[in-house]
A and B are shown apart, each in its own frame.
Chain A
């Protein structure tokens, strides 16, 4: 069993193996996701949650594969804000890169519901909720 495990590990260990040492590289910079700060407001006339990108880093394909608002109870219900050509499921983005503070997005809903703003890393391996909106907890659920 151990022999099998070790043999199975060899291809991965050998991947990228080189006789020549790697040199100094700063390619891993930056290591952290971009900062994205937003505000939410419910617009009853449009029956939409309006998200404003208020502060943070400019989003580009180099730091973002996808930014989308999703409804918590229905993850298939999403509005893609921006998506890179490398994104797995880019949908129909509402805007193009670069995305800068000041931009807004409307996520249409039949009624106010909990939503998340989801950011996905350029390599597609990581995603995180950068902000959330809960109409029951958040006073901003009032009219815009």
Chain B
């Protein structure tokens, strides 16, 4: 083998290796998740909920307070924008708290469980709404980007405009963390389902040609369907859930969570006299907190729309990245070795 042939071969091998590494780091790969299917409405709904864990898509979840004890309801509480690009193993979140009169009446010192008044049952949302308690001004936006080997976040990011695309999400003064054990699929703390596996029976309430909408109502069914861990829910008034599926694809199109519940009166700043709920808490169902303590009625309306199936992208938000060299190298290696 002469020297020239050796150099050509070595160059080709190096180029191929670099290309393969680039493909791995960029997570370029064939990707075609099976569509959700099922025999019964419940099976189809659960399959559609699980499908989100594999399919690229966008989610916009808007939370409104329909009833509380501040005298200011109804008001828009917040928006959670999410982009899931499972095909390239990356997710992007933007939580925005819009208004928080509920939280101005109480501090977590005097009511420890007030921290769970977040409408979304995941740790980043709980922490975000805790920051909204004491924010000097609102809106307050928390941006989180998750990919293999890297998690970027900004607790006080620029609030995206209404209808913002993923590439409009920005960070300032960004903080980052990388970890060799960080994998997007397992370590996105904000990724959760809107419908849990359950045994409730659904009623078809609308059929609009392209979509079909089902509903479950009442405390027993509601408590099976909606994820309620890390929420302040202590009892139920008159909640319901509506799920809209795409008739052709079986995918989730919309979830309306009418979270009409009772929360701990202490968490709500409602005193601790043990009295039954006041005029705002007179609903049927659990007139008292499960367990018998004081409770207040609180009604969230959480409307979530799903779209961009197969096309949504979750790019890293624009802005300066503050990670050091070691963190970057570790993150790169984790991304390289995870395919």
Chain A positions within 8 Å of B, measured between CB atoms, are 2, 5-6, 9-10, 12-14, 16-35, 37-40, 54-58, 101, 128, 130-131, 133, 137-140, 142
* A95 CB to nearest chain B CB (Å): 18
With A39-B292, A40-B291, A133-B291 known to touch, is A32 a contact of B227 (CB < 8 Å)?
A: yes
**Residue numbers in A under 8 Å from B32 (CB-CB):** 24
Q: Are A9 and B337 within 8 A (Cβ)?
A: no
With A9-B333, A10-B333 known to touch, is A29 a contact of B193 (CB < 8 Å)?
A: yes
Please name the residue on chain B nearest to A32 by beta carbon: B227
Q: Are B223 and A56 within 8 A (Cβ)?
A: yes
Q: Are A57 and B53 within 8 A (Cβ)?
A: no
**Residue numbers in B under 8 Å from A31 (CB-CB):** 53, 191-193
**B198 on the A face (CB < 8 A):** yes
Q: SS class of chain B's interface: helix, strand, loop or mixed?
A: loop
**B329 on the A face (CB < 8 A):** yes
- Of the stretches B64-72, B101-109, B166-174, B180-188, the one at the interface is B180-188
**Residue numbers in A under 8 Å from B339 (CB-CB):** 17-22
Q: Are B293 and A138 within 8 A (Cβ)?
A: yes
**Residue numbers in B under 8 Å from A25 (CB-CB):** 53-54, 185
**B55 on the A face (CB < 8 A):** yes
Q: Are B291 and A140 within 8 A (Cβ)?
A: yes
Bound together, the chains give a CA A18 to CA B337 distance in angstroms of 7
Q: SS class of chain A's interface: helix, strand, loop or mixed?
A: loop
Please name the residue on chain B nearest to A56 by beta carbon: B223
Bound together, the chains give a CA A18 to CA B29 distance in angstroms of 13
Bound together, the chains give a CA A28 to CA B219 distance in angstroms of 27
Q: Are B338 and A29 within 8 A (Cβ)?
A: no
**Residue numbers in B under 8 Å from A27 (CB-CB):** 53
Q: Are B333 and A57 within 8 A (Cβ)?
A: no
Which one of B29, B53, B274, B290 contacts A29 once the chains associate, using CB atoms below 8 Å?
B53
**Residue numbers in B under 8 Å from A23 (CB-CB):** 31
* Given A9-B330, A22-B339, A101-B220, 18 new contacts (CB under 8 A): A5-B326, A6-B333, A9-B180, A13-B334, A24-B54, A24-B55, A28-B191, A31-B53, A31-B191, A31-B193, A32-B227, A35-B226, A38-B291, A40-B291, A57-B223, A128-B229, A130-B229, A133-B291
Bound together, the chains give a CA A138 to CA B266 distance in angstroms of 11
Bound together, the chains give a CA A28 to CA B52 distance in angstroms of 10
Q: Are A29 and B272 within 8 A (Cβ)?
A: no
Please name the residue on chain A nearest to B325 by beta carbon: A2
Q: Are A29 and B186 within 8 A (Cβ)?
A: no
Among B224-242, those with CB < 8 Å from A are: 224, 226-229, 233, 235-236
